[in-house]
Amino acid sequence: MSVFDELQAHSALSFEQARMLPLEAYSSEAVLDAELATVFAGDWQCVARTADLSEVGDYVCADLPVVGGGVRSIVIIRGEDSIRAFDNVCVHRGAQLLTGCGTETRITCPYHAWVYRHDGSLIGGPYMAESTEADGAPFNPDRHRLPEIRLEVWNGFVFVNLDPDADSLGPRLAGLHDIVGRFAMESYVTVRNEVDVWPTNWKLLVENFMDAYHVFKVHKESFGANGDNTANTEMYPGTLDWAHHRVVEADGPDLTANGDDRLDGEWRRTIVLAAIFPGFVIQLQPDWLWFLMITPMGTDQVRIAWQVAVAPTTLAAADDPDALIADINALIDQVNCEDHPVVAGIRRNVDRPQFDRAPLSNLERNVFDFDRYLTTRLSR
């Protein structure tokens, strides 16, 4: 049975029947190529927050993984009317236009200085007066523009999709919006912006983030410092687009700042862990959020672009905002140190002789949801 036959069979399993994915799925180059050609080329990927693009001309570049290795560089830029995404490539002779992030009144190519507006239209290029279009007409900048990529904003997150025919993201996430919309997370203030590369398969990282089972053990010293929260975890079945669970500490502290009335009742003590497939995961709290944009770099390396943002009310109420931010960052650094050896170790172990995969805990329901999404997409 090929690994693709196994994945197809996996897509039909109920949660009760399911195990972790076939081990080869974490090491197979062919599976990675199929993932790149299917989910990364056809599903929505988060590339930024609107908070990264607050002023006209603000831009960020993002690298999207593509079949065969390497990346497709895109640029996301705020124009006078909206945020747009383009291939980060000059239509003259293919130079990369921008790098990193910054602010530009116009996009000027570093090679021969062709100039584009924020909407991707070409203003012109120097020394082109003698040039002609393919049909012999005089060179006309109006005939040329940057290739635009589909973009949607959802709760302050900027998503792009390389498939021009993909279903709109908003309706697919309506159920998740009903849960997280109340947090107004688009207003959270960015306090940290990082890119890491870990030696593991990208799927193992998504699964680990959505695994509520390991927290009491692996994160005993960080998330579990005040006791085991496992009994407060509420697991919900996911969809083929997203999944989530909640940690609701009925007797825990109110996590909102004084006077902050965004959230009612138990929501003031609720942490939401959510995934938007394929590679966006978030830990959302009343006081801060942590999100990861996860993309593969081969079968045994994953790129993790991640940010931390704090609720503005929480920042305003803090006696010492810098100390508050330092505490959150220290917690997340510790959590990352705790997860790193686990997910790196699993990646090494899937290369060993097969073991018989054993049942999942109910606390791993969201791991199954992600696996079902992936195996369903790869089986179409």
Residues binding ligand FES (CB under 6 A): 90, 92-95, 109, 111-112, 114, 125
Given ligand FES, Fe ion, none, residue 339, with its beta carbon under 5 to 8 Å by kind, binds: Fe ion
Sign of the alpha-carbon dihedral angle for 8, 214, 28, 373: positive
CB of 185 to ligand FES, least distance (A): 38
Q: Which residue, 24 or 339, is less far from Fe ion as judged by CB?
A: 339
CB of 93 to ligand FES, least distance (A): 4
Contacts (CB under 5 A) with Fe ion, residues 298-357: 339
- Distance between CA atoms of 171 and 168, rounded to whole angstroms? 7
CB of 147 to ligand FES, least distance (A): 14
Strands 157-161 and 302-310: unpaired
Q: What is the largest CA-CA distance in the chain?
A: 76
CB of 223 to ligand FES, least distance (A): 49
Given ligand FES, Fe ion, none, residue 220, with its beta carbon under 5 to 8 Å by kind, binds: none
Q: Which residue, 144 or 246, is less far from ligand FES as judged by CB?
A: 144
Strand partners, 86: 75, 148
Given ligand FES, Fe ion, none, residue 281, with its beta carbon under 5 to 8 Å by kind, binds: none
A 10 A CB-CB count for 206 gives 26
Q: Which residue, 61 or 282, is less far from Fe ion as judged by CB?
A: 282
CB of 218 to Fe ion, least distance (A): 5
Q: Which residue, 273 or 310, is less far from Fe ion as judged by CB?
A: 273
Q: Which residue, 111 or 187, is less far from ligand FES as judged by CB?
A: 111
**Which distant-in-sequence residues (6+ apart) come within 8 Å of 205 by Cβ?**
198, 292, 294, 302, 304, 343
- Distance between CA atoms of 91 and 147, rounded to whole angstroms? 8
N-to-C CA span, the chain? 18
Q: Are 258 and 317 in contact (CB under 8 A)?
A: yes
- Distance between CA atoms of 243 and 369, rounded to whole angstroms? 7
Q: Does 287 bind Fe ion (CB under 5 A)?
A: no
Backbone angles phi, psi at 235, to 5 degrees: -95, 135
CB of 111 to ligand FES, least distance (A): 4
Q: Which residue, 19 or 112, is less far from ligand FES as judged by CB?
A: 112
Q: Are 250 and 265 in contact (CB under 8 A)?
A: no
Q: Does 241 bind Fe ion (CB under 5 A)?
A: no
Total residues contacting Fe ion by CB under 5 A comes to 1
Binding site for Fe ion (CB under 5 A): 339
